[in-house]
Amino acid sequence: MSKPPSITLSTGAHLPFVGFGTYLIKDEQAESAVGAALSAGYRHIDTAEGYQNESGVGRAIRTAMDGGLARDELFVTTKLWPGYAGWGQEPKNTETTIASCEASLERLGLDYVDLYLIHATFDQDQRIAQWRGMVALWERGLARAIGVSNFSESHIDELLAAGLPVPHANQIELHPWSQKPALVGYLADKGIAPIAYSSLVPLSTWRTAPGQDSAKTEAMREEAAKDDAPFRVMAEKYGVSEAQVLLRWAVQKGYPVLPKSTNPERIRANLDLFGFTLDDADMAAIADMDRGGGIAWSVGDPLAFS
């Protein structure tokens, strides 16, 4: 199989443009969903301590490796759950950050992950201690690259002001309704790869299954469901799905994407993004759709991007 289209991190590692997202996939479902993704050709898997599905994700990966998939053909990301005192959790420090990664590796059944991220900033003062732990994990080779998620410019500046290494990536909510041009420009200046999550927010079907609620309003869903909704019109023009238009937009901007689905047909189609190109007029029209902040996490949530 040919190598998947990828971006190159500042470490020199290749991060495939299309990763399989696993948020809201339960551990017992994760093995079959990730197995379907690997069979469809995904070579980049995104999980997290906080998703509580690393064991199932790991079982699928090891089955694929037993079937001949080489570890170095795969890019696996997991994330540190930083702990939040506001929810009665002990914020992680340097030592417990290291222990958390070791526990994730144990659950995944892997010797290393390709990328380890601090999942969120929270309103607490352990970020630097946690980043020191991340750096130690990178130096020990347990994480081949390290980064952050949901960090703003000032959160990253804080790490740099402490004299610590620049993160290799920042995973953020990024889609036509939340384009974050200042942050994306900052990341480009620093050589930090932006990784887009929740690319499919503008779909009327985004997280509509029971238990997958989000801050998206009914008005937004109705707007997205209209016959003349812009992504619907573009999808017809290119002969693809609306999801493919949204994912292709990100790829054309240079952002890796992490579409999540438990539907085998969607899993396959979400990977099929390289046979068409959005033209300049459509890219310009999408550039005008930015609504500012994120939608995937509700306002007032301590995890919310700010």
Ligand X SMILES: NC(=O)c1ccc[n+]([C@@H]2O[C@H](COP(=O)([O-])OP(=O)(O)OC[C@H]3O[C@@H](n4cnc5c(N)ncnc54)[C@H](OP(=O)(O)O)[C@@H]3O)[C@@H](O)[C@H]2O)c1
| Residues contributing to the site for ligand X (CB under 6 A) | 21-23, 46, 119, 149-150, 171, 197-200, 203, 205-207, 209, 212, 241, 243, 258-263, 266, 269-270, 296
Structure tokens at 199: 């690319």
Q: Which is nearer to ligand X, 190 or 268 (CB)?
A: 268
How do beta strands 75-80 and 115-118 pair? parallel
Instruction: Return d(Cα 230, Cα 227) in angstroms, integer.
Output: 9
- Residue 16 carries which DSSP code? E
Q: How far is the CB of 272 from ligand X (least distance, A)?
A: 10
CB of 269 vs ligand X, minimal distance in Å: 5
Q: What is d(CA 234, CA 297) in angstroms, rounded to the nearest whole number?
A: 27
Residue whose beta carbon is closest to ligand X: 21
Provide the residue type at 31 as one letter: E
Q: Give the residue with the Cβ less far from ligand X, 165 or 264.
A: 264
CB of 79 to ligand X, least distance (A): 6
Residue ranges of alpha helices (H) inside the chain are 27-40, 54-66, 94-108, 127-139, 153-161, 181-190, 218-225, 230-238, 242-253, 264-270, 280-287
Task: Give whichever of 2 and 180 is closer to ligand X, judged by the CB atom.
Answer: 180
Minimum CB separation from ligand X for residue 149, in Å? 4
Task: Spell out a b/e string for 78-87, using b for 16 or more CB atoms within 10 Å of the CB, else e.
Answer: bbbbbbbeee
Read off the DSSP letter of residue 165: P
Nearer to ligand X, 94 or 262 (CB): 262
Clarify whether 238 is annotated catalytic.
Answer: no
Nearer to ligand X, 57 or 110 (CB): 57
**Contact predicate 188/213, CB 8 Å:** no
* Closest distance to ligand X from the beta carbon of 302 (Å): 12
The Cα angle at residue 83 between residues 80 and 88, in degrees rounded to 5: 155
Per-residue buried b or exposed e for 254-269, using 16+ beta carbons within 10 Å of the residue's own CB: ebbbbbbbbeeebbbb
Residue from 23, 42, 51, 112 carrying the catalytic annotation: 51
Least Cβ distance, residue 68 to ligand X (angstroms): 26
Closest CA to 171 of 66, 1, 301, 19: 19
Of 12 and 175, nearer to ligand X (C-beta) is 175
Burial of 139 by CB count in 10 Å (0-12 exposed, 13-18 middle, 19+ buried)? exposed
Q: Which residues are catalytic?
A: 51
